[in-house]
Amino acid sequence: MENAISLSATELPGLKPAALKGYDRVYIGSEFCQNRLPSAPAFRGLAEIFKGPLTLVTPLLSDSGLDAAAALIKAVAPAKGPPLEVVVNDWGLLRLLKKNKRARPVLGRLLMWEIGCMDKKFLNAFCREYRVAGVETDNAEVLAALKGYAGPVHYHYPFRFKSVTRFCSYIRDFNSSPCSMDCGSAFVKLSHKDIPEPIYLQGNAYFIPNKPLKHPAIKRLVKTSV
């Protein structure tokens, strides 16, 4: 089992190598907000601190976000050696990466319901066509639905994704607008007597607590840094 840690771009300044000790891989970026991608220098700085493989994480993207993500991948994907693993949550980015041998897509959590329910014969052929290296999830129901999918599954904890908006509560605007990442990496607990369980706000997305799972299909556990 591979163990990975998922970092927010806001955690990179001042990050110490000790914080990454014991992990086989580091995820950097966001599946939920296009303003939370790292800069190319920040990504390279992380590669200096952590000598293992890195995974660039990307969300749904507007056209400007797509341009930024494509430029970032071009800047940081290695010219030689194994391709950069990129978590993709946007069909447009997946299309762009189809012929880019320097990057290898993994389908992210925003697509997990889509592909989890999908006819597996079609899904496996689709994943071969797009060189998809795996699927991210944080949900046992999706994991069960993925039965028949031929690739590896990466399981996220200690939070399970519940919802997302592109209209950010911090900037009171859509998240292609300028932002200074005031949301940071904090998870803010939200509750109400009529809501069955507390939810957690992180940036523009909502979560509930989640525990790691053991399952033959799960080849990697991804812990979100809190």
**Which helix (DSSP H) or strand (DSSP E) does residue 137 occupy?**
strand 135-137
Under the criterion CB under 8 A, does residue 150 sit at the interface with another protein?
A: no
Collapsing DSSP to helix, strand or coil, 158 comes out as coil
In whole angstroms, give the CA distance from residue 102 to residue 190: 41
Shortest Cβ 212–another protein spacing (Å): 20
Selected binder of another protein within 47, 49, 201, 218 (CB under 8 A) = 201
By CB under 8 A, how many residues form the interface with another protein? 52
Selected binder of another protein within 23, 27, 50, 206 (CB under 8 A) = 206
In whole angstroms, give the CA distance from residue 156 to residue 5: 9
Shortest Cβ 25–another protein spacing (Å): 25
Collapsing DSSP to helix, strand or coil, 194 comes out as coil
Selected binder of another protein within 12, 47, 49, 118 (CB under 8 A) = 118
In whole angstroms, give the CA distance from residue 136 to residue 107: 6
Under the criterion CB under 8 A, does residue 194 sit at the interface with another protein?
A: yes
The C-alpha torsion from 220 through 204 and 107 to 36, rounded to 10°, is: -80
List interacting residues with another protein (CB under 8 A): 60-66, 90-96, 110-111, 113-114, 117-123, 126, 145, 148, 162-169, 172, 174, 176, 186, 188-192, 194-196, 198-199, 201, 206
